[in-house]
Amino acid sequence: SDLNEEVLTRAGSWMSKERKRLTLQLLLIYLKASTGSCIASASEALRLIWNSLPVPFISHQEISLIFGELLCAKEIWDIYLFYAQAIGEFHEFLNPRSLKHLCRAAVRWTLGRQKWIPDGINELCLPTELKLFLNLDM
């Protein structure tokens, strides 16, 4: 609880509430995975979460700024490496997501509002590769 409050206070006004929540979620998933044998499951959960969100990936710089006074450089690197391996990308600095990914998020959001995921995706007249992409299988 103290860690969460301290982290949120450190993030200050430069980070949105959603970004703070996502960064804390990353830390909690990492801590849970690093203390047990569920690393593969935690990594897959992160991949699915981040493949469904339209927001930029968390950068190494953000993690360093938020957790820099709380964790040593090796711990920060370990957290980021776990995250980067899970999402399959490495971002030193904050970058926008690709147009392809933003389109996936928009289609999933639209279908999700109608509770048509995953059935709605399978009903679309799209090539199998695009259906897999929309279903977060790629």
- Is 25 domain-assigned? yes
Query: What residue has token string 């259906």?
Result: 131
pLDDT, tens digit, 9 for 90 and up, residues 68-120: 888 899 999 999 999 999 998 888 777 888 899 899 999 999 998 989 888 88
Burial of 92 (0-12, 13-18, 19+ CB in 10 A): exposed
- Is 94 domain-assigned? no
User: Is residue 13 located within the same domain as residue 72?
Assistant: yes
SS3 31: helix
Among the residue ranges 37-41, 74-78, 86-90, 129-133, the one predicted with the least confidence is 37-41
Q: What is the sign of the dihedral through the CA atoms of 101, 81, 18 and 40?
A: positive
Total number of domains in the chain: 2
- Is 93 domain-assigned? no
pLDDT over threshold 60, residue 66: yes
User: Is residue 114 located within the same domain as residue 68?
Assistant: no
What range does the domain containing 65 cover?
A: 5-87
pLDDT over threshold 50, residue 52: yes
